[in-house]
Structure 1
Amino acid sequence: MSGVVNEPTGAGKRADMNSLMKGARAAQELFGTSDQARVDEAVRAMAWAIYKPEHARELAALAVEDTGLGNVPDKITKKQRKTFGTLRDLLRAKSVGIVEADRAQGIVKYAKPIGVIGAVTPSTNPGATPVNKAMMAIKGRNAIIIAPSPLGYRTTARTVEFIRAELSRIGLPADLVQIVPAPVTKELTQALMEAVDLVVITGSQDNVRRGYSSGTPAIGVGAGNVPVIIDETADLDAAAMKIAASKTFDNSTSCSSENAVVILDAVYDEAIAALERTGAYLVPPDKKPGIEATLWQGGKLNRHLIAKDAALLARAFGLPVQAEAARFLLVEETGVGRDFPLSGEKLSLVLTVYRAREFVHAKEIVRSILDYQGRGHSMGIHTKNLDRARELAAELDVVRVLVNFAHTFGNGGSFDNGLPFTLSMGCGSWQKNSISENLNYRHFLNITHLVTPIPEDRPSEEDLFGPHWAKYGR
């Protein structure tokens, strides 16, 4: 297909990047003068290219076949749900011309394109993340070039093919959306980062760091390791069902999947029983060392076990046969840090369980987990006491605190909360990210400020310095 350049190496790859950039510049120049109606037509067409049931099924099957991560039914759901929700958000937003006017301040804001966006995307979502970023980029009248994970290249290439065909069908240049040539290398990804006007990275922290040091404005997002609290006021069955649905979705490929549950002692046994009713299997304590030794190899997660079915995990861990029928596994832990790998992100159907004496202790366990891994990302609580949720939001270094949600479904935007739909979660300066919110279309816009005179607003010296003079003297 056009927009996918095949194979040469070295200097030839740099030439290929120049060719992609030339096509992207030409396409963006044409599209950059479009009105809002035409922009929204383009976004709607791109969404349909992936939401279309037969396309969603094909891409889901291809992603599992290529990466071995997750499962087909949930990947279909993910593609359609995220694309549908993002389309809802984008069609409700203005991104052309005047987007805000504050007459009292004499400020009028005009939205302008950034130019060509470079998007680095992960193997966990080789279809959903590229289209999500592409829709946001096109909403800003930009072009986009995608550098996918090598593991998911075929899926991303097919995704781009569907999008390009739909853009052509409505009379827009297909080169608004392109993919770098295979095989994707660090050298080629670096060339993309240096060539574009903005780079947006979801995936390895190595790519995020290289994006920020590329000399190009960059938005990178951080790693997850989500802990959630269940307190004594929670509806235990509702909490368990939400945690189970979230933890098992796409075999726990999401960075927003629960990695630890911290349960208050007053309801610990009842909460474990509720989780077991949803299909959890509580691992015997003597099996924990074997799980740690198997799930981590050489200090890194075992790629043969992440995002796999629970039955495969149970066999690999040498668990009793009844564990093979479980939806996910519960492993009790007391420690946090490098010597306790289960306190970190697992990308698998293993949920670590902590017992807390009371709420203050639960909060400290969560703080320790986040300080070890996932600081800045998010956490959750199942409670009827909103004061506790407010306390967590005020005190913990995370961008998102979710209350009574299935975390995977709520964290990246949901139809029952106000977060923007996205597959890329900013983690603030806590993970050296430039954004502390969900990635959304506003990050793909330049803004011009028209400034006109207003009545003078100049306070007196007494107004500003008076309290200081009164307390400390002049």
Structure 2
Amino acid sequence: MELLDKDLVSVQEVRNLIKKAKEAQRVLAQMSQSQIDKIVKAIADAGFENAEKLARMANEETGFGKWQDKIVKNTFASKIVYNAIKDMKTVGILEDDEVNKIIEVAVPVGVVAGLIPSTNPTSTAIYKAMISIKSANAIVFSPHPNAKNCILETVKIISEAAKAAGCPDGAIACMTVPTMEGTDVLMKHNDIALILATGGSAMVKAAYSSGTPAIGVGPGNGPAFIERSANIPLAVKRILDSKTFDNGTICASEQSVVVEECIKEEVIKELKKQGAYFLTDEEAKKLEKFIMRANGTMNPQIVGKSVEAIANLASLSIPEGTRALVAAETRVGNTVPYSREKLAPILAFYTEKDWESACEKCIEILNNEGAGHTLIIHSENEKIIREFALRKPVSRMLINTPGALGGIGATTNLMPALTLGCGAIGGSSTSDNIGPFNLLNIRRVAYGVREVEELTGNEKPVSSIETFGSKTDKEELIDELVKRILQQLKN
């Protein structure tokens, strides 16, 4: 019996997939916009038609979330993303500015490495395949090992649909033997042009450290501020709808609720009315031991789990019908579990004396974890909303909407996406919701519109330096040009 080293098999597979993907991408790069769009539509249709099947597979394999909500995610990743990108021009000349004499040409980056998480496995694969093909790029996926089967099935379904629509074989591919070594080779390979990294902080950091250009996502830890002018019942509904959607696995979902002291009791009453259970101090101490691991990372035992499963884990007795667990908190820090990202139906509850103090608390929470990601505010006071907008260290500030679905562009008009950039403050290369244009380079063809004399103020027009008779004249002109340019730069 022949024994094979799993890491070696993974590495060789990656090399084979990249080689084939590079050949396929060359074909994609020669296709017309209509040919590309036909393939993208086929991917969207296949994702939509198999939304329930893939949702059930993801839920069964990972144990995360709710399969019913994963259907919504798959539908979002296929139909809603498709509708947002279908009319985008991503091939050939994008713009011909006759006034400014600049032509912009779309240039695909090449082969993309797509890292897929276990929290949103099938939806993220559909979405990344579509935006990659839309920009005439090939993509090779590295699936999370705990979601390998459902990701492989997703890639099989959408790649077959794409090929039937004219996509070259190998343009959408996936590792079948995912290992850390194989993924490392994928990210560092010379023929990988860009990494789309969605997953844990360690994997995202590895992507940025690979030497290959990368678009990664930092942790979400979005606080939701309820300001006194808000419609409190509606604000609470939105927060609970968001936090319980797929058991909190979307990183833009709310992690904390921050309220003003004057409305504290009203908000607590409404949270309880709508299914939130406020933990006692003793219960909160029991549960916090299960939120983070000893190394400071989120405990996978709570990720995407129901409130019942989490309560059983911590030996808590909770009322039937509880939708979310809430713990009163005042502290913020790496060793304060409730102030951290919790991809589960668990919320921290902070009370501040006024909106200015609440604003500072939100900044403190974000700067501890989640800077650059998302913040939610429920308010009818436009002045306060704008004050928050000017000061918060986030890329997405969502107003009067559920965080999870607002952040990804489902309940807002943000670019529909399942990879949310966190900007420089969050360690990301962009603050965008990632779409096809993030996977394109733009070649700019620029016509000359002024001569050197217009830059230097030289009133004597010349067609070229050769019009000056002697070598001395030429040297003097060059010296004068240099002096004038240096002076302009200083000014």
The answer to whether TM tops 0.5 is yes
Work out the CA distance in 1 between the residues paired with 2:342 and 2:72: 22
Larger-gyration structure (1/2): 2
3-state DSSP of counterpart to 1:130:
helix
- Matched residue type, 2:133: I
Q: Which residue of 1 aligns with 2:307?
A: 310
The offset of 1:297, in angstroms, is 3.7
2:186 paired with 1:192: yes
Q: Classify the secondary structure of the residue corresponding to 2:289.
A: helix
For residues 429-453 of structure 1, give each alpha carbon's deviation from its aligned partner in whole angstroms, at most 9, with x where no partner exists: 1122111111111111121111113
Partner of 2:199: 203
Q: CA deviation at 1:393?
A: 1.5
Aligned counterpart, 2:298: 301
The superposition leaves residues 39-77 of structure 1 with CA deviations (integer Å, 9 ceiling, x where unpaired) of: 11111101111111xx11111111111111111000001
Partners in 2 of 1:19 and 1:370 — Cα distance? Answer: 42
Name the CA distance, whole Å, in 1 between partners of 2:321 and 2:308. Answer: 6
The aligned counterpart of 2:36 is 39
Structure 2: distance between partners of 1:81 and 1:61:
16
Residue in structure 1 matching 2:387, options 387, 391, 411: 391
Distance 1:9 1:160 in 2: 22
Residues 375-386 of structure 1: matches in 2 within 5 Å?
A: 375-386=371-382
| Matching of residue 253 in structure 1 with residue 246 in structure 2 | no
Whole-Å separation in 2 of the counterparts to 1:300 and 1:13: 27
1:100-135 C-alpha deviation (Å, 9 max, x unpaired): 233332111000211111111111011011111111
Residues 77 and 124 in structure 2, CA contact (< 8 A), matched pair in contact too: no
In the alignment, does 2:132 pair up with 1:173?
no
- 1:318, CA displacement in angstroms? 3.2
1:241 equivalent in alignment to 2:237: yes
Which whole-Å CA distance do the structure 1 matches of 2:374 and 2:96 have between them?
33
Aligned residue identity for 2:188: E
Q: Deviations over 1:350-390 (max 9, x none)?
A: 11100110001101110110111101111010000122121
Q: Would you say the 8 A contact 1:120–1:203 is kept in 2?
A: yes
Change beyond 3 A, Cα 1:401–1:321: closer
Structure 2 residue aligned with 1:412, among 408, 414, 424? 408
8 Å contact from structure 1 (residues 226, 379) kept in 2: yes
Which amino acid counterpart does residue 150 of structure 1 have in structure 2? P
1:26 counterpart residue number: 23
Aligned to 1:327: 323
CA contact (8 A) 1:311 1:325 kept: no
For the aligned residues, what is the CA RMSD? 1.9
Q: Is this contact kept in 2: 1:328–1:351, CA < 8 A?
A: yes
Matches within 5 A, 1:50-449: 50-52=47-49, 55-182=50-177, 184-195=178-189, 196-298=192-294, 299-322=296-319, 324-414=320-410, 416-449=411-444
Contact kept, 8 Å, 1:402 with 1:411, in 2: the verdict is yes
Residues 116-163 of structure 1, C-alpha deviations (whole Å, 9 max, x = no match): 111111110110111111111101111100001111100110000001
Q: Do the aligned partners of 1:104 and 1:454 also contact (CA within 8 Å) in 2?
A: no
Task: Flag structure 1 segments of 5+ consecutive residues without an equivalent.
Answer: 1-6, 462-473
Query: Please, what TM-score do these two structures have when normalized by structure 1?
Result: 0.91
Q: Deviations over 1:417-471 (max 9, x none)?
A: 331010111111112211111111111112111111335675979xxxxxxxxxx
Amino acid paired to 1:366:
C
AA partner of residue 172 (structure 1): C
Q: 2:447 and 2:297 mapped to 1: Cα distance?
A: 57
Q: Secondary structure at the match of 2:121?
A: coil
TM-score, normalised by the number of residues in structure 2: 0.88
Q: Could you tell me how far apart the structure 1 residues matched to 2:28 and 2:429 are? A: 28
Question: How far apart, in 2, do the equivalents of 1:171 and 1:292 lie?
Answer: 52
Q: 2:35, 2:166 within 8 Å by CA — same for their partners in 1? A: no
Q: Equivalent residue for 1:17?
A: 14
Distance in 1 separating the partners of 2:165 and 2:264: 57
CA distance in 2, matches of 1:90, 1:132: 11
SS at match of 1:296: coil
Q: Percent identity?
A: 33
Cα distance between partner residues in 2 of 1:108 and 1:27: 27
Change (3 A) 1:247 1:459: farther
1:185-223 CA-partner distances (Å, limit 9, x unpaired): 111001111221111111122222221222211111111
| Preserved CA contact (<8 Å) 1:389 1:401 | no
Stretch moving more, 340-349 or 450-459: 450-459
For residues 290 and 18 of structure 1, what CA distance do their matches in structure 2 show? 48
**CA separation in 1, counterparts of 2:5 and 2:47?**
30
Amino acid at match of 1:58: K
Aligned with 2:325: secondary structure?
Answer: strand
Is the Cα–Cα contact under 8 Å of residues 298 and 341 in structure 2 kept in the other structure? no
1:451 is aligned with what amino acid?
A
Secondary structure of 1:351's aligned partner: strand
* Inter-CA distance 24–381: structure 2 relative to 1 (3 Å threshold): same
How many aligned residue pairs are there? 452
Taking the aligned partners of 1:209 and 1:339, their CA distance within structure 2 comes to 21
Residues of 2 paired with 1:354 and 1:300: CA distance? Answer: 22
Q: Which residue of 2 aligns with 1:469?
A: none
* 8 A Cα contact 1:259 1:346, kept in partner: yes
| C-alpha separation in 2, matches of 1:348 and 1:208 | 21
CA contact (8 A) 2:10 2:175 kept: no
Q: CA deviation at 1:259?
A: 0.3
The separation in 2 between residues aligned to 1:166 and 1:381, in whole angstroms, is 41
Distance in 2 of aligned mates of 1:213 and 1:423: 22
- Cα offsets for 1:19-45 (capped at 9, x unmatched): 112211221112211111111111110
What residue ranges of structure 2 are gaps of 5+ in the alignment? 459-490
Q: Which stretch shows the higher mean deviation, 262-271 or 297-306?
A: 297-306
Classify 1:146/1:263 alpha carbon distance in 2 versus 1 (closer, same or farther; 3 Å).
same
Deviates most, 297-306 or 129-138: 297-306
